[in-house]
C-alpha cells in the first residue's frame, strides 16, 4: 500500500468483551440484550459507597488470552482510575490498568498477500470495565447500564502494520485465537469486539514515527480495511497540499467510506490516572499461570501447520479451515474417520464450510466420511456425493449407504447401460452430433452432459467419456 511515495504506519487497540457469566466487579449478568437496566446493581451503576470486588474468571480469561497471544504475565499489577465525565460512565471514572498491565510483550502471526509470514507485536493487554450504552431516540437520550461493568480486555498492538490487508488479517487472526480459547465470542456486530485504529504516514524508506490520528470503534473487519485506506490517502493528500496532520480522534462513516474529525485527542494527563484505592493489587501465582497454560486448546498456527503436514493441505486451504473454530472442530472429527483425506477435504471446503455459519442442519462428520469413502471407492460419483450431503441432513438416522440403496443412486458402470444413455442423448441432440462430425470437438460435451442428466447424475464419468468417443 504505497501512495505518492508514502506508506502507512498502523497500530490497533482492540477491545473484546470477555465471555464471563457475571460482570467484572459485581455479580450482575453480562447477557447481551435483555430489558434495559435490568442487569444492574449499586456497583455497576456507580452508587456512592458501593465497592468493587474483582471477578476471578476475568483474570483467568485475560491470562488465557494473553498466553494464546504469546504474552508474559505480570505477576503483580494494579487497577487504575481513568477519570472522565460522560453520561454512560456514572462513577466519573473507568477502572482500567494504566502503567502496569496484566499482560505484555506478545505477538501473533499473519501471512501477507505474498504468502510471507509477518509477526505482529502486541505491546500489552489489560483488563477494564465497559461503559453503559447511550441510545439516541426522537430527540432524547436514554441510558442502558446493562453493559456497564462488562469485562473487557484491551489488546494494544505495536505500530507495525502497513496495509489494510494486514489490518484485516490481524483482526481475523485475533478473533480466531480468542474465539478458539473460549474467552470471547468476538461478535463485532454486537460490539463484543471493536477496534480503534491509529494511522500515521511517512515517506517510503523513512523509519521514524510521525503524528497519528485514531479512528474509533470500528465494528466490522471490512470497515476497518476501508477506513485505513481512506485515512491513509487523506493524510498523504493533506501533507502534499501543505497541510499538517493533527493528533485527533476520528470517526468512520460507513455510508461515505470517509473519516471525520470528532475531537482533539485527550492527552494522558487529562485522565488524571491514579491507583484505585478500592481494590488491592492483583497478584497472580505461578500455579494459576501453569494451570491455565495447560488448558489452552490447539491454536490456529499449530492447526495450520498440522493440516499442511498431516493432510497435505495447501497453506490457503489450511488457513481457511483453521480460521473458524466451528469449521476446524467439524473437520478435525471428519478427517480422522477416513483414509481418503484429500477427497474429504475437497467435499468439506466445497459443500460444508459455506453452510456452517448458517444455523441449518448439516450432515454429521461421520456421514461425510462415509460419503467420502463411497465416492473414493467409485460407488457413487461427485454429483451423487453432493446430493447425499443434503439428503443425509434431511433424513438423519439413515446412513449414506442405506440412502444409496433405497434411492437407487449407485454409480452406473455397466457399458451396455451407458451406451443406451448415449444413444438417447444422440437422438435428442442431432445438431451436436453433426457439429462434432464437422470438427467441433467440444460438441461432445453436450452429449455427455445430456447422457449424465438422463442417468440423474449416476453414470460413471470416465466410462461415459470413453463410450461417447467410441460411439461418435
Q: Which residues bind Zn ion (CB under 5 A)?
A: 26, 28, 41, 43-44
Residue (221 or 463) nearer to ligand ADP, CB = 221
What is the chain's percent helix, strand, coil content, to nearest 5? 40, 20, 35
**Mask for 1-40, x = binds Mg ion (CB under 5 A):** ------------x---------------------------
Question: What's the CA gap between 38 and 449, in Å, rounded?
Answer: 62
Give the nearer residue to ligand ADP in terms of CB position, either 9 or 421: 9
Q: Decide if residue 11 touches ligand ADP (CB under 6 A).
A: yes
Judged by CB under 6 A, which of 55, 181, 198, 324 binds ligand ADP?
A: 198
- Binding partner of 12, given Mg ion, Zn ion, ligand ADP, none, CB within 5-8 angstroms per partner class: ligand ADP
Does residue 94 touch ligand ADP according to CB under 6 A? no
Angle at which helix 325-335 crosses helix 365-376, to 10 degrees, equals 50
Residue nearest to Mg ion (CB): 13
Asked if 5 and 237 count as a contact pair (C-beta separation under 8 A), the reply is no
| Rounded distance between C-alpha atoms, residue 430 and residue 437, angstroms | 11
Residues 6+ apart with CB under 8 A from 230: 252, 257, 258, 259
Contact call for residue 158 and ligand ADP (CB under 6 A) = yes
CB-nearer residue toward Zn ion: 30 or 181: 30
Pick one of ligand ADP, Mg ion, Zn ion, none as the site partner of residue 28 (Cβ within 5 to 8 A by kind). Answer: Zn ion
Residue whose cell numbers read 430489558: 35
Q: Which residue from 30, 45, 77, 200 is in contact with ligand ADP, where contact means CB under 6 A?
A: 200
Nearest to 234 by CA among 465, 410, 8, 466: 8
Binding of residue 146 to ligand ADP (CB under 6 A): no
Distance (Å, whole) CA 201 – CA 209: 8
Q: Report the C-alpha gap between 152 and 82 in whole angstroms.
A: 15
CB of 69 to ligand ADP, least distance (A): 14
124 forms beta bridges with 104, 156
Contact 262, 196 (CB under 8 A): no
Which range, of 23-31, 150-158, 307-315, 397-405, touches ligand ADP by CB under 6 A? 150-158
Q: From the list Mg ion, Zn ion, ligand ADP, none, pick the one residue 44 interacts with, judged by a Cβ distance below 5 to 8 Å according to partner type.
A: Zn ion
- 267: β partners: none
Q: Are 384 and 392 in contact (CB under 8 A)?
A: no
The answer to whether residue 9 forms part of the interface with ligand ADP (CB under 6 A) is yes
At its nearest, how many Å lie between Zn ion and the CB of residue 115?
Answer: 48
- Nearest distance from residue 63's CB to Mg ion, in Å? 21
**Position 106 contacts ligand ADP (CB under 6 A):** no
CA 162 – CA 167 distance, rounded (Å): 8
| Binding stretches for ligand ADP (CB under 6 A) | 9-13, 156-159, 198-200, 209-210, 212
Amino acid at each position: 500500500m504505497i501512495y505518492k511515495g508514502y506508506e502507512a504506519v498502523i497500530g490497533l487497540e482492540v477491545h473484546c468483551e470477555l465471555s464471563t457469566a457475571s460482570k467484572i466487579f459485581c455479580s450482575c449478568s453480562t447477557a447481551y440484550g435483555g430489558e434495559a437496566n435490568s442487569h444492574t446493581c449499586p456497583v455497576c451503576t456507580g452508587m456512592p459507597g458501593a465497592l468493587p470486588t474483582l471477578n476471578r474468571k476475568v483474570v483467568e480469561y485475560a491470562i488465557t488470552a494473553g498466553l494464546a497471544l504469546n504474552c508474559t504475565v505480570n505477576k503483580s499489577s494494579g487497577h487504575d482510575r481513568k477519570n472522565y465525565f460522560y453520561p454512560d460512565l456514572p462513577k466519573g471514572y473507568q477502572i482500567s490498568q494504566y502503567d502496569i498491565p496484566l499482560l505484555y510483550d506478545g505477538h501473533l502471526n499473519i501471512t501477507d498477500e505474498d504468502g510471507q509470514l509477518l509477526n505482529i507485536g502486541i505491546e500489552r493487554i489489560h483488563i477494564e470495565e465497559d461503559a453503559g450504552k447511550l441510545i439516541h431516540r426522537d430527540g432524547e437520550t436514554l441510558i442502558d447500564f446493562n453493559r456497564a461493568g462488562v469485562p473487557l480486555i484491551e489488546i494494544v498492538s505495536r505500530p507495525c502494520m502497513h496495509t489494510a490487508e494486514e489490518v484485516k488479517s490481524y483482526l481475523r487472526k485475533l478473533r480466531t485465537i480468542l474465539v478458539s480459547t473460549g474467552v470471547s465470542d468476538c461478535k463485532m456486530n454486537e460490539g463484543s469486539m471493536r477496534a480503534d485504529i491509529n494511522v500515521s504516514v511517512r515517506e517510503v524508506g523513512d523509519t521514524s514515527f510521525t503524528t497519528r490520528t485514531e479512528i474509533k470503534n470500528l465494528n466490522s473487519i471490512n470497515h476497518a480495511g476501508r477506513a485505513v485506506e481512506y485515512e491513509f490517502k487523506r493524510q498523504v493528500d493533506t501533507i502534499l497540499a501543505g497541510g499538517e496532520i493533527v493528533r485527533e480522534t476520528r470517526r468512520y462513516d460507513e455510508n461515505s467510506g470517509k473519516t471525520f474529525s470528532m475531537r482533539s485527542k485527550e492527552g494522558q494527563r487529562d485522565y488524571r490516572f491514579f491507583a484505585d484505592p478500592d481494590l488491592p493489587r492483583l497478584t497472580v501465582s505461578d500455579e494459576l499461570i501453569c494451570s491455565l497454560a495447560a488448558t489452552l486448546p490447539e491454536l490456529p498456527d499449530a492447526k495450520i501447520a498440522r493440516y499442511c503436514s498431516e493432510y497435505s493441505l495447501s497453506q490457503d486451504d489450511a488457513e481457511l479451515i483453521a480460521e473458524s473454530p466451528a469449521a476446524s472442530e467439524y473437520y478435525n472429527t471428519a478427517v480422522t474417520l477416513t483414509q481418503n483425506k484429500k477427497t474429504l477435504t475437497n467435499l468439506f471446503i466445497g459443500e460444508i464450510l459455506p453452510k456452517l455459519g448458517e444455523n441449518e442442519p448439516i450432515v454429521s462428520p461421520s456421514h461425510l466420511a462415509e460419503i467420502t469413502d463411497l465416492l473414493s471407492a467409485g460407488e457413487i460419483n461427485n454429483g451423487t456425493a453432493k446430493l447425499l450431503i443434503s439428503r443425509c441432513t434431511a433424513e438423519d438416522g439413515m446412513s449414506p449407504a442405506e440412502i444409496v440403496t433405497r434411492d437407487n443412486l449407485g454409480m452406473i458402470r455397466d457399458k451396455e447401460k451407458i451406451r443406451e444413455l448415449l444413444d438417447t442423448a444422440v437422438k435428442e441432440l442431432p445438431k451436436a452430433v453433426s457439429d462434432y462430425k464437422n470438427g467441433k470437438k467440444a460438441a461432445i460435451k453436450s452429449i455427455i452432459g445430456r447422457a449424465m442428466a438422463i442417468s440423474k447424475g449416476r453414470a460413471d464419468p470416465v466410462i461415459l467419456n470413453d463410450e461417447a468417443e467410441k460411439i461418435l
